[in-house]
Amino acid sequence: MVTVANLVVTGSTWEKKTDPLAEALESQARRYWVNVFNSPMQIMRFATETQQRAMVREMDDWDKVNDPRPCYLLCTSPVAAEALAGLSHLKQSLAVREARLRFAAIGDETAAEFAATVKLEGIARVRRDEVITPSVSGHSDKLVQKLIETAPAGSIVLTLESASDSGDIARGLVSGGLRVVRLPVFSLSLQNLIDLPKSDLPWWFLITNSSVLKTLVQDLRLQKKRPENLLWMGHFRSTEVALRRLIPNAHWVELPDLLPVNILETISKSEFC
């Protein structure tokens, strides 16, 4: 088969599951003369049943359902929103607080995923524009300051996060007079980039999670590939910002969406192919 480009899909996957986007790209790639390589850079695991019940108990200890103050639910990543969808006890405990819930997210990408999950899972009716985000997407300090300025003193913030989260957001909120319960809804382990074959064709990298970029760039350099000579694509501006912190002169293409046909057409019609 004649091919015009290589595409590496780096999306995170849940343990024992496959990446639906990577599978869809692989099934359609032949029509666009593109080689697809699936290299998930993170493996994610849901909180266990025991861990989930412990989170609910702690939340109930710190926040009474009939408390008159708002209850802020802060999502730290798109993965945290995905994890919430799989935790039934936690969803039920949040749903009984629906009238008090307010929503915040670390960035635009996360806010979109979060709003969709909260609505789809029946926790609350919320629009994307009702989710509080920082003035600069991805800047946790700005989000912390915005919540401190917005939330009534003593309000509680529930942070949906990874089990390995640094806790910086929680510490910042507490220092501003807010109460915080950390909810480690998932854990993750970073994976190395697969060994890429030698090829004279252009290499494209699809980035759906900016948190993998540092490891990905390091692995590319170990494979003697220069990241500044590669082609990068994604759907969110915040991903480009994170990429340019590592590779200031990166060649980036912002996609209108993550539909497989649009991804593959962008590559096949590119000036580089």
Q: Domains in the chain, start-ordered, CATH in brackets?
A: 5-41+191-268 (3.40.50.10090), 46-187 (3.40.50.10090)
Give tens-digit pLDDT for 218-255.
999 999 999 999 999 999 888 999 999 999 999 999 99
Distance, CA of 44 to CA of 195 (rounded, Å) = 21
CA distances 91 to 67, 88, 98, 156, 216, Å, are: 18, 5, 10, 17, 33
pLDDT at 34 over 90: yes
Count CB atoms within 10 A of the CB of residue 246. 15
Tokens representing 84 are 């919430």
* β-bridge pairing 71-75 and 42-46: unpaired
Tokens representing 162 are 């990874």
Give tens-digit pLDDT for 58-117.
999 999 999 999 999 999 998 899 999 999 999 999 999 999 999 999 998 899 999 999
- pTM equals 0.75
Provide the pLDDT for residue 273.
65
Provide the pLDDT for residue 1.
63
7-39 burial, b if ≥16 CB within 10 A, otherwise e? bbbbbbbbeeeebebbebbbeebeebbbbbbbb
3-state secondary structure of 36: strand
Distance, CA of 102 to CA of 249 (rounded, Å) = 39
Give tens-digit pLDDT for 162-205.
999 989 999 999 999 999 999 999 999 999 999 999 999 999 99
Give tens-digit pLDDT for 117-139.
999 999 999 999 999 999 988 89
Q: Which residues contact 146 (CB under 8 A, 6 or more apart)?
A: 104, 132, 134, 135
- Write down the H helix ranges in the chain: 20-28, 49-62, 78-85, 88-95, 108-120, 140-150, 168-175, 213-222, 237-246, 260-268
Provide the pLDDT for residue 143.
97
Provide the pLDDT for residue 209.
83
Distance, CA of 109 to CA of 111 (rounded, Å) = 6
pLDDT at 2 over 80: no
